[in-house]
Amino acid sequence: MNISETGIELIKKFEGCVLKAYKCPAGVWTIGYGHTSGVKEGQTITKAEAEDYLKQDLTTFETYVSNLVTVAINQNQFDALVSFCYNLGPGNLKSSTLLKLLNAKNYSEAAEQFDRWIYAGGKKLSGLVKRRAAEKALFLQPFNTTSYKVIATVLNVRKKPGINNKILKVLYKNDIVKISETSGNWGKLSDNTGWISLKYLKKI
């Protein structure tokens, strides 16, 4: 599973984008959207480099969450956990009561654990209170999808909405797909593998 645009926007909102290295509340040199690996005092980057760092980091944290969670979770729950892990690190997720409860299928009790992770350097931070609340709300939000049948002989799956965007793969007539969100005449596949034209789908 990959993080969705909803999860990415949540991370961007709370991390912010800073193009010059700074020390976070935990005393770690940070740049871009909360990137910390190899960051040095005085370092500067471009907005494009910040986006690249974010993509790299997201891939890493997606893998951590996928490896640590052993039960079925939906897209919203995955997104919330990637944000949590991105902010706090995989070690904290691995040792957390949140993960233990989740892997025991105690989903509602696991959600309550987000509220505990609001401290940095021994101090309660309002930014962390707000972030944990947003992650908890996303974790608890039902993930709705709509099922469709492909009616075209061949249907391209594209990276973004629009016929000029890169083709990622191909679907065929009578394939069944699930759409999690729409943008104009385009629908996003629920497994986050791309966008397809709704004109060539029939709701089932």
Q: Is the dihedral of CA 96, 97, 98, 103 positive or negative?
A: positive
Q: Take residue 190 and report the two structure tokens written for it.
A: 């629920």
CA distance 144 to 74: 9
Q: Take residue 111 and report the two structure tokens written for it.
A: 């959600």
Report, in angstroms and rounded to the nearest whole number, the Rg of the chain calculated over CA atoms. 19
CA distance 19 to 132: 25
**Which residues have C-beta within 8 Å of that of residue 147, sequence separation ≥ 6?**
176, 177, 178, 179, 203, 204
Active site residues: 15, 24
Residues 98 and 108 sit within 8 Å (Cβ to Cβ) = no
Over the range 41-74, which residues count as b (16 or more CB within 10 Å of their CB) and which as e?
A: eeeebeeeebeebbeebbeebbebbeebbeeebb
